[in-house]
A and B are shown apart, each in its own frame.
Chain A
């Protein structure tokens, strides 16, 4: 709803409209599920199985996201670089990776790129087999690679949206290109794209479920293993969904808190 002043906000929401019904509904669901887990051994079994996979889901996400950010940053600097070769490689990476399904990329990295890499390493004198590279490392690398392209676009969007005067003022003071990027442009870019980065982190957390197709035992894989042994689909899927929702809501709240910290002095 666009308000009379053109701001994108509803005008004077009623108390009923402002009450966070969705949050109440979720809290109610959490209480119900918690109660089932506390009182029902079947639900407790499933929950403890999922908890076994929780660490892996978190580790894959926590490693892949910083890697994706780093890849994205290097690519973004390439996209705005004056060096032709850097720009070309960054463009190739972003266009290719953005155009492939994440699932296909995971297969490609796990079954094509890693064996090729092992062969190349062996040609240089290493003594490796493909099994030396664990599946969890392959899928983490694949997720980082896939999300790096998204982060590159996100960061480039933020960087190019900064007023031209910011770079001009920094350069006019005598700061070098690198100093200008590090001290003036990138900190502002980061603040601008923070909501999008939070969104991307949530997407990555959800996409980490794809690692289960390679048998890596994250929470999704634990749920599937449990299902194939017990045929208890409803209970395990409801709990699995609840786990993901709890995680993504926590991330969303953390990002919101960070945004509020910066918004007080918004550009």
Chain B
């Protein structure tokens, strides 16, 4: 491990350094670095196939990077070490495009399972936490339902609540509204805005530029496995420096 530079600033909550990932001939990530400070909302934007989801999935090792490292609170995580990996994943919650609720369990059991197994809560405490979280996402009346009985938006809110049940330090969202029709995206985005207002640390892969502009504190724009531009939305979205970002965010002004 290289010596840390002396600095007054604390280590970022979550950090990726020079991540590279190849899928056969395709370079999905080309030496990508990312730092996520506590209490911030980072939105990762870019065209399809630019490596956004791969980057997000490397942060909790659902995809194993070929080279580079992921740090949590400054400490390098070794994904080959099972208990370190599981502990890291418990600190880094994830919400998926397809929700991935467990269909054989009731909604409250989806939340309680994680709290019980990962945070070693008693059955009663896990149930209490599950019901409190469901109340917070407005699904108190659906606690005893099975996931298939919920609408897409309700399923996604339950999935966010399930991720919160483990009390992660940071939440990753992998295109959380892409599987929802426009009427249902609103309720999910509204809750995500509420989380942002509560200073929940989030990293969001999204195609929703408007949401990113309003809710994110930091924009990361990617193309072809590289970070092209990053910074606050006022700069990256409203006044991009690169041609590539300008074409993406303001297609009417550039060549088709």
Q: A165-B96, A187-B104 are in contact. Are A175 and B148 (CB under 8 A)?
A: no
In the bound assembly, the distance between CA atoms of A267 and B102 in angstroms comes to 9
In the complex, the answer to whether B100 meets A267 with C-beta atoms within 8 Å is no
Which of A172, A176, A179, A267 interacts with B104 by CB under 8 Å?
Answer: A267
Decide if A171 is an interface residue (CB 8 Å cutoff): yes
- CA separation between A172 and B166, bound complex, in Å? 11
Given contacts A168-B96, A265-B148, A266-B148, contact A173 B102 (CB under 8 A): no
Contact among A166, A168, A169, A175 for B117, CB-based, below 8 A: A175
Judged by a CB distance under 8 angstroms, whether A105 is at the interface is: no
Query: CB distance A172 to B98 under 8 Å?
Result: no
A 196-209 binary contact with B (CB < 8 Å = 1; else 0): 00000000000000
Residue of B86, B104, B118, B159 with highest tally of chain A CB at under 10 A: B104
> How far in angstroms is the closest Cβ of chain A from B32?
20
CA distance A123 to B152 in the complex (A): 65
Alpha-carbon distance between A187 and B82 when the two chains are bound, in angstroms? 23
Interface 9-residue window, one of B5-13, B87-95, B195-203: B87-95
Mask: chain A, 147-178; 1 = CB below 8 Å from B; 0 = not = 00000000000000001011011111111110
Q: Which of chain A's residues has its CB closest to B83's CB?
A: A176
Docked complex Cα distance between A170 and B86 (Å): 11
Asked whether B146 lies within 8 Å of A265 as measured between CB atoms, the reply is yes
Interface of A is mostly: helix
Q: Which residues of A sit under 8 angstroms from B87, Cβ to Cβ?
A: 174
Size of the A side of the interface (Cβ < 8 Å), in residues, is 22
Docked-complex contact B148 and A173, CB < 8 angstroms: no
Q: How far is the CA of A29 from the CA of B192 in the complex (A)?
A: 66
**Contact of A193 with B by CB under 8 A:** no
Complex-state Cα separation, A171 to B62, whole angstroms: 8
Q: Please tell me if the beta carbons of B118 and A184 are within 8 angstroms of each other in the complex.
A: no
Q: Choose among A166, A172, A188, A265 the residue with the greatest number of B CB atoms under 10 Å from its CB.
A: A172
Contact B86 A174 (CB under 8 A): yes
User: Is B103's CB under 8 angstroms from A188's CB?
Assistant: yes
Minimum distance in angstroms from B130 CB to a CB of chain A: 13
Contact at B89–A188, with CB atoms within 8 Å?
A: no
Q: Is the CB of A173 within 8 A of B89?
A: yes
**B103-A175 in contact (CB<8A):** no
**Inter-chain contacts of B86 with A (CB < 8 A):** 174-176
B166 touches A169 (CB 8 A): no
B40 lies within 8 A of chain A by Cβ: no
Cβ–Cβ contact A171 & B102, under 8 A:
no
User: Across the interface, do B103 and A267 meet the contact criterion of CB distance under 8 Å?
Assistant: yes
- B residues 28-64 near A (Cβ < 8 Å) are 60, 62
- Interface pair B118/A174, CB less than 8 Å apart: yes
**In the complex, given contacts A172-B62, A172-B94, A176-B82, what are 7 additional A-B residue pairs having Cβ atoms less than 8 angstroms apart?**
A165-B96, A169-B94, A172-B60, A172-B89, A173-B163, A174-B89, A174-B118
State the 3 A-B residue pairs at the shortest beta-carbon distance, nearest first: A174-B90, A169-B100, A165-B100
7 intermolecular pairs with C-beta atoms under 8 Å apart: A163-B100, A173-B162, A173-B166, A174-B87, A175-B118, A179-B117, A265-B148
